[in-house]
Amino acid sequence: MAGLYLALVLIGWINIYAAVYNEEHRSIFDLSQNYGRQLVWIVTSMALALFALVVDAKFYNAFSFIIYLSMLIILVAVLFLGTTISGAKAWFQLGSFSIQPSEFAKVATALALARYLGTMDINLKSFRTQMNTALIIGVPIALILLENDTGTALMFIGFIIVLFREGISSKVMLTGLCLVILSILSLWLDRLLLIGILAGIAIIAIFVKRRGRTLKRILFIVALLVLAIGYVFAVDFVFDHVLEPHQQNRLNVLLGIEDDPRGIGYNVNQSKIAIGSGGFFGKGFLQGTQTKFDFVPEQSTDFIFCTVGEEWGFLGSTLVVALYVWLIVRIILKAERQRTSFSRIYGYGVASILFTHFMINIGMTIGVTPVIGIPLPFLSYGGSCLWAFTILLFIFIKLDSKRLELI
Amino acid sequence: MKAQDEQRKLIIIGLILLVGVVFIGRLFYIQIIDKSYLLSAQNNVVRVITQYPARGLVYDRHGELLVYNEAAFDLMVIPSQVTAFDTLEFSQLIGLDRAEIKDRLVKAKNYSMRKASIFEKQISKESFSFFKEKLHKFPGFYVQSRTLRYYPTRIAAHTLGYIGEVDRSTIDSNSYYKSGDYIGISGLENSYEEYLRGQKGVKRVLVDVFGREKGSFQEGRFDSSAVKGQDIYISIDAKLQAYGERLMTNKKGSIVAIEPSTGEILALVSSPSYDPNLLVGRIRSANYQMLSDDSLQPLFNRALSATYPPGSTFKSLNALVALQEGISTPSTSYYCQGTATAPIKCSHYHSTPLNMYRAIEISCNPYFWQTFRSIMVSRSDIHDAYNIWRKHALSFGFGTRFNSDLFNESKGFIPLPDYYDKYYGKNGWRAMTIRSLSIGQGEILATPLQLANFASIIANRGYYYKPHLIRSINDSIPDPEFREKVVTTISPVNCQVVVEGMSRVMDGPEGTGRWYRLEDIAICGKTGTAENPHGKDHSIFVSFAPKDNPRIAVAVVVENSGFGATWAAPIATLMIEKYINGEVKRLNVEENMVNSNLINP
C-alpha cells in the first residue's frame, strides 16, 4: 500500500510540474511555483507518515473521541478566526501558507465512527445507534457546510459505504436513497408534475399485484404517498425560506438547474477537450497544449487529471485509474482480515473516503459526475489534503501491521 | 464472517471495480474513439485581446479641444504560439533587420512564453494594413489597436501632462493595470487618470493552430466591451494660455492667472516649455531624454514647483498683518532717509514721511522694515510675535500645498520659529535678525501659484477658493471642496487699504508700475525685485483687475531679468488686457516682450 501511495504521489508531483510549467521557472524545485511547494508538502507528508507509524497502535482507538472532539472545536474556531479562500471560510492562515481543517476532519470522523461502531454490543439496527451514527457524521458536515465548503462536506456521504458494510438494514438504505432522490426531484421538477408522478406510481403499485390488494396494503400505499408529498413540500420550504441565496445558487448549479455564472460547464468542456486530445499515447511530458494555455482552470488542484489525460493519454490515465482501484480494493481486503472491529471499520472508512474522492473527481473531469471542487487524493496540489490523506492512509497501515497484536 | 457481511463486501468491491471500468470505458471513448476532442483542441487556442478604451478628451473653458486621440497599432507576439516563419519577408514588412527580430523574440520569451508582449510599438497605418493580409503566415503575431494622445494647440504642456507605460510598482499595487498599459504620468493626465482612462474590455477569440481567427469564444460570454474615458473640461483659457506662452518666449519663468471669484486657473505658463506632441508614442523616450538633459529644464513646471523669494510683493502682506493686529493704521507714517536709511536702505527717491498707501505705491523698504519691526516687538517674546505673523502668512496659502488637482505643487517655505532657534539660539534672534522678511527676502520662498493666489485673495478682499484646473466632468465638478470659500485671517476693511495702495502702484504719480497703466482697466499691482543666489534679480509682479469686481489675478515671475517693473509688470498687464479686452492695443509693448531674449541675449 505504501508503494501505491508513493507511486500516486510521484505521478501527482510530475503532473503538477507539467500543469504549471513555464519557461521562466524551469527548475522543478522552484519554491515560488506549485510544484516546488508540492515537494515541500510531499517531504513533510513522509514525516507525518513516519509519525503515524511510530505512534502506538492502541493510541488511535483510545484517543479517537478526543481527536474527534478537538477537531469539532477547530472546525468551530475556523468559522470565527478563519480566512476565506475562493468563497469558503475554511482556512487558517499561518504566514504564507494556509491549512484547511475540514480535510483533517475526515480522518477524525473515520476514527470516531470506527470507535463507536466498534464498541461491543452495538447494533446498527437499533434506532438509537442509527441516530448516534448520524450525529457523528452529521455534525462535522454541518460545520463544514457553515464554512461554505460544500465540496468537502459532500464527501462525508461516502461513509454510507461503511454503514452498509457494518450491517445497516437495506430498508434504511433504501429509504435514505429514496429521500435523496425525492429531494433532488422536488428541486428539479415542477411540484405539480412531481405529485402527479408520485400519484401515478402509487396507483400502479396498487393495481400491479392483483393478489395482494388488501385494504391494509392500499392504505399503506396511500399513507406513503401523503408522506412523500409532505416531504416534497418540506424540501421546497427549506430551500425557499431557510437557505441563503448563495446556498440556493450552489445547489442550483450543482443540480444543473441554473446556468452557472462561474463557468463550471465551461470547465468540464475544456477538461474533456484536454483529456480527449490526449489520444492513446498522450502528447508527451510537458507537451500538453490545452493545459499549457490555461484553458483548464484549477489545473494543479481539482483538475490535475486533465494533465494526466492530455500528456499521458489513454495509457497513462488508465494506469492512474487502475492504481486507485487497486489501492482501494486492497484496503478493503486488508480491512476484512482485521481482528478488531475498530481496525476493520476504520479501514472501510479510509477506502470509502478515497473512493468517493476518486469517483467524483475523475468523474467530473470526464463529464460523468457533477463538478464538485474536491481534490484527487495524493495527486492534487495542496498541503492540507496531501497531509490529511497521508495521515488517513498511514494510520490504517499501522493498524494493519499490528493486526495480530490488537484484539 | 457472516454471510451477509461477505455479500456486502463483494457488493462494495464490485461497485469500485464497476466505477473503474466505467471510467476506463469513458476514457477509451473520449480519447480514442471520438476524434472531435482532438479537433477542438486544435481550434482551441484562445487569444485574449485587450480592448483599450479611448481616453477621455480634454477641452478648455470655452470648449476648445486641447487633447484628442489617434488610433495606433501595436504588433504583439505570444512566443509559445510562434512557429518557424520567413524572417526575410517579416523583416521587409516590419522594417527591422533579422538580427533585431531575433533579439526581440528572445526578449519576449524572457518576459513570458504564454503572455503577449509588444513586439513593435505603434506601427504605421500603412504597414498595419499591409501586415494584416499576411498575418496568417506568422502564427503567434497579431495586431492590437490602441490610441495615442494628440495635442492640436501644442500649448499647456505641463498642465496637461503626458501618459506613458505603467511602471512595475503601479502594476503590483493596482490590479487594474497590466504590463504595457498606459497611465497618466504627470499633470491632468495623472490627476484625472481615473476619469480619463475609461474601462478596459477583453475580447476572447478562438484561433486555430495557424493563427487565424475563428470567431468569438463561447459566443462572447466572457467578453466585456471597453468603456470610453470621460471627457474633462478644464479652467484654462486656451487663448490666454497661448498668449502667455508667446510673451514668455526666450525667458525663464512663469505666469499664473486665476479667476478670483472661483479659484479657476485661467493660465499656467512655465517657460521654457515644450511641444506636448513630443512626448507621444514611439518618439517619447528619445524626446524625453532630450528634454530632461536640457539645462533650461523645460520639463520642470516652474508655475507650480519652482520657489522664489517673493521680494517686495510680500510688503503687502506685512501691511495686512500690521493692520489686522492693530499695530498700524493706514495713516501710520514713517521717515525714510533714502539710501542712507539703516538697516535697510530705500532705492527710491521720494518725499518723507510717508503713509501706508504711498509706501506701497513707492515700495519703500524702510517703511516696511518699520512696520515689520512693530509687529515683531508687539509681544514680549519674539516667538509669539513671529507666530502671529506666520499664522497670517499661512492663512494666505503660503508655506503649504493647496492639494487640489495640481500635479507636483511645491510647498514654498515659511520657517517655523524653531528654524531660527536652531540658527541663532533660543534667545539669539530679534526683529533685526530676520529683517529681510520685511521686504520679502531672507528664508521665505513662494511659488508663482501662491503669489497669484495671494493677488486673488486681495482682489476678493480676504478670501479665496482653492486654485484648481477642473471645470467640469459630466457637467459636475468632481471635488465639491473647490466650491468652498476659504476665509483668511484678514478682514475685508484691511484688505481694502492694500487694494488702494496697489491701485496707486499703477495710477499714482510715483507708482512703480505706472508705465504700464491702462486707460480703460483699473489694475492693482505690486512689483517685486527678488535678490537671489542664482544671478540677476528675479522680476516679479502680482496684480489683479479690475479693481472693483475683479475678473483676473495674475502673478508673473521672470527669472534673473532685473526689476519687477521692467519685465513682469508689462507681461502681467498684457495678460490682463488680453483677457479682459480680448485684444491688446499696446502692440509695441507686446512686441518688445515677445522679442526680448533673456536666455541668450
Top residue of B13, B23, B106 to mutate, by most chain A CBs within 10 Å, is B23
| pLDDT, mean of residues B396-406 | 94
Q: Which of B9, B30, B222 sits opposite A275 (nearest CB)?
A: B30
The DSSP string of B254-311 is EEEEEETTTTEEEEEEEES---GGGGSGGGHHHHHHHHHH-TT-TTS-HHHH--B--G
Distance CA A142, CA A148 (A): 10
Average pLDDT of the residues in B161-187: 87
Q: How far apart are CA A318 and CA A179, in angstroms?
A: 35
Same domain, A319 and A253: no
Q: What's the one-letter identity of residue B21?
A: V
pLDDT at B179 over 90: no
What's the pLDDT score for residue B43? Answer: 58
- Are A76 and A141 within one domain? yes
Q: What is the ipTM of this complex?
A: 0.87
Per-residue pLDDT tens over the stretch B480-539: 889 999 999 999 999 999 999 999 999 999 999 999 999 999 999 999 999 998 889 999
B2 to chain A: closest CA residue: A167
The answer to whether the B47-234 and B238-284+301-595 domains have the same CATH topology is: no
**Which among B32, B37, B221 has CB closest to A272?**
B37
Which pLDDT value is given to residue B508? 92
CA count, 13 A, side-chain hemisphere, B322: 28
φ, ψ for residue A85 (rounded to 5)?
-125, 130
- Closest-CA residue of chain B to A328: B16
| Separation in Å, CA of B52 to nearest CA in chain A | 23
Domain boundary among A258, A288, A310: A258
A200, A226, A258 - which closes a domain: A258
Residue contact B24–A318, C-beta within 8 A? yes
**Mean pLDDT, to the nearest integer, of A6-34?**
77
Q: Is the pLDDT of residue B365 over 90?
A: yes
d(CA A23, CA B196): 37
Under an 8 A CB cutoff, do A266 and B218 touch?
yes
Q: Which cell is A174 given?
A: 433504501
Instruction: Please judge whether A314 and B31 are an interchain contact, meaning their C-beta atoms are less than 8 angstroms apart.
Output: yes
Work out the minimum CA distance from B135 to partner chain A, whole angstroms. 21
Identify the residue among B11, B28, B30 best suited for mutation to test binding to A, counting A beta carbons within 10 A and taking the highest. Answer: B30
pLDDT number for residue A26:
63
**A181 and A164 in a common domain:** no
* Minimum distance, in Å, between the CA of residue B201 and any CA atom of chain A: 18
- Answer whether B177's CB lies under 8 Å from B170's CB: yes
Q: Are residues A240 and A305 in the same domain?
A: no
The CATH number corresponding to B238-284+301-595 among 3.40.710.10, 3.30.43.10, 2.40.340.10, 1.20.1240.10 equals 3.40.710.10
Higher per-residue confidence, B95 vs B358: B358
Q: Can you tell me the distance from the alpha carbon of B15 to that of B21, in angstroms, rounded to the nearest whole number?
A: 10
Between B600 and B40, residue with greater pLDDT: B600
Is B20 close to A295, i.e. CB distance below 8 A?
Answer: no
For A323, the closest chain B residue by CA position comes to B20
pLDDT at B237: 96
Q: Which residue has the higher pLDDT, A123 or B529?
A: B529
Mutate to test the interface with A, among B2, B21, B24, B27 (most CBs of A within 10 A): B27
A325 and B17 within 8 Å at the Cβ level: the answer is: yes
Q: Which of the two residues, A215 and A393, has the higher pLDDT score?
A: A393
Q: Which chain B residues contact residue A332 at CB under 8 A?
A: 9, 12-13, 16
Burial of A24 (0-12, 13-18, 19+ CB in 10 A): middle
Mean pLDDT of B391-418: 94
- Residue of A273, A280, A281, A306 best to disrupt the B interface, most CBs of B under 10 A: A273
Q: Which three cell numbers stand for residue B419?
A: 528654524
**Which of A314, A337, A357, A368 would you mutate first to test chain B, the one with the most B CBs within 10 A?**
A314
pLDDT of residue A264 exceeding 60: no
Identify whether the C-beta of residue A366 lies closer than 8 Å to the C-beta of residue B27. yes
Q: Minimal CA–CA distance to B545: which of B236, B255, B257?
A: B257
Choose among B9, B23, B113: nearest Cβ to A336: B9
What percent of chain A shows pLDDT beyond 90?
32
Contacts of A277 in chain B (CB under 8 A): 37-38, 40-41
Q: State whether A100 and A201 are in the same domain.
A: no
- A300 and A206 housed in the same domain: no
Which residue range forms the structural domain that includes residue A216?
169-258
Distance from CA of B37 to the nearest CA of A (A): 5
How far is A401 from chain B, CA to nearest CA, in Å? Answer: 21
B32 vs A22, A280, A328: nearest CB: A280
- Interface A–B counts its CB contacts (< 8 A) at 114
- Mean per-residue pLDDT for B435-451? 94
- Tell me the shortest Cα–Cα distance from B28 to chain A, in angstroms: 7
Does the pLDDT value for residue B210 go beyond 70? Answer: no
Chain B contact residues (CB < 8 Å to A): 1, 4-5, 8-9, 11-13, 16-17, 19-20, 22-24, 26-28, 30-32, 34, 36-38, 40-41, 44-46, 80, 109-110, 112-114, 218, 221-222
pLDDT of residue A261 exceeding 50, the answer is no
**B38 contacts A279? CB cut-off 8 A:** yes
Say what the pLDDT of residue A262 is. 43
Best B19, B24, B46, B110 residue to mutate vs chain A (most A CBs within 10 Å): B19
Nearest to A325 among B8, B20, B34 (CB): B20
Asked if the model's pLDDT at residue B421 lies above 90, the reply is: yes
Domain boundary among A239, A258, A277: A258
- Inter-chain contact B41–A290, Cβ cutoff 8 Å? yes
Residue A407 located in a structural domain: no
Taking an 8 Å cut-off on Cβ atoms, the answer to whether B32 and A279 are in contact is: yes
In terms of domains, do A83 and A117 share one?
A: yes
**Would you state the pLDDT for residue A296?**
61
SS3 content of chain B, % helix, strand, coil (to 5): 40, 20, 40
Answer yes or no: is pLDDT of B404 > 80: yes
| Chain B, nearest residue to A274 by Cα | B41
Q: Given CA atoms B267, B272, B277, B280 in this order, what sign does their dihedral have?
A: negative
Cis peptide preceding B353, ω within 30 of 0: yes
- Where are chain B's structural domains? 47-234, 238-284+301-595
Beta bridge partners of B164: B183
Q: What pLDDT, in 10s, does the model give residues B531-580?
A: 998 889 999 999 999 999 999 999 999 999 989 889 999 999 999 999 99
Task: Decide if A276 and B31 are in contact by the 8 Å CB cutoff.
Answer: yes
Contact B8 A279 (CB under 8 A): no
Q: Tell me if the domain spanning B47-234 has CATH number 3.40.50.12640.
A: no
Dump pLDDT digits (tens) for A183-207.
Answer: 888 877 778 888 888 888 888 887 7
Please indicate whether, in this complex, the C-beta atoms of A289 and B45 are within 8 angstroms of each other.
Answer: yes
Q: What's the domain count of chain A?
A: 2
Is the predicted pLDDT of residue A308 greater than 50, yes or no?
Answer: yes
Contacts A322 to B, Cβ<8 Å: 20, 24
Percent of chain A with pLDDT over 70: 87
From chain A, pick out residues whose CB is under 8 angstroms from the CB of B80.
Answer: 292-293
Chain B residue closest to A293 (CA)?
B114
Task: Examine the pLDDT at B134 and tell me if it is beyond 80.
Answer: no
CA max distance for chain B: 131
Judged by average pLDDT, the poorest of A217-226, A383-392, B551-560 is: A217-226
Whether residue A95 lies inside any domain: the answer is yes
Residue-averaged pLDDT of chain A: 84
The pLDDT score that the predictor gives to residue A286 is 75
Instruction: Quote the minimal CA–CA distance from B107 to chain A in Å.
Output: 12
**Which residue did the predictor score with more confidence, A238 or B419?**
B419
Model pLDDT, residue A239: 80
Supply the pLDDT for residue A98.
81
| B520 compared with A367, residue with greater pLDDT | B520
Q: Between A270, A295, A366, which is nearest B26 by CB?
A: A366
pLDDT at A51 over 90: yes
- With an 8 Å Cβ cutoff, are B27 and A317 in contact? yes
Closest-CA distance of chain A to residue B229, Å: 28
Beta strands in B380-513 (DSSP E): 463-465, 470-473, 485-487
CA proximity to A168, closest of A109, A122, A231, A119: A122
Which of B26, B29, B31, B37 to mutate against chain A (most A CBs within 10 Å)?
B31
- CA B108 to chain A, closest CA, distance in angstroms equals 11
Q: How confident is the model at residue A258 (pLDDT cuts 50, 70, 90)?
A: low
Mean local confidence (pLDDT), A302-324? 91
H or E element at residue B493 = helix B492-507
- Which chain B residues have a beta carbon less than 8 Å from that of A266? 218
Whether A204 and A313 share a structural domain: no
CB contact under 8 A, A275 and B27: yes
What string of H, E and C letters represents the secondary structure of B16-29? HHHHHHHHHHHHHH
Percent of chain B scored above 70 by pLDDT?
A: 95
Partners of residue A358 in chain B, C-beta under 8 Å: 19
Cell numbers standing for residue B456: 486673488
- Residues A66 and A58: their CA atoms lie apart, in Å, by 14
Cβ-based contacts of B223 with chain A (< 8 Å): none
Average pLDDT score over chain B: 89
Please answer yes or no on whether B12 and A164 come within 8 Å at the CB atom: yes
Residue A32 and residue A46 in one domain: yes
Residue A153 or B398, more confident: B398
Can you name the residues that pair with B528 across neighbouring β-strands? Answer: B540
Whether A164 and A178 share a structural domain: no
Pair A229, A301 in one domain = no
Please give the average per-residue pLDDT across B405-413, as a whole number: 93
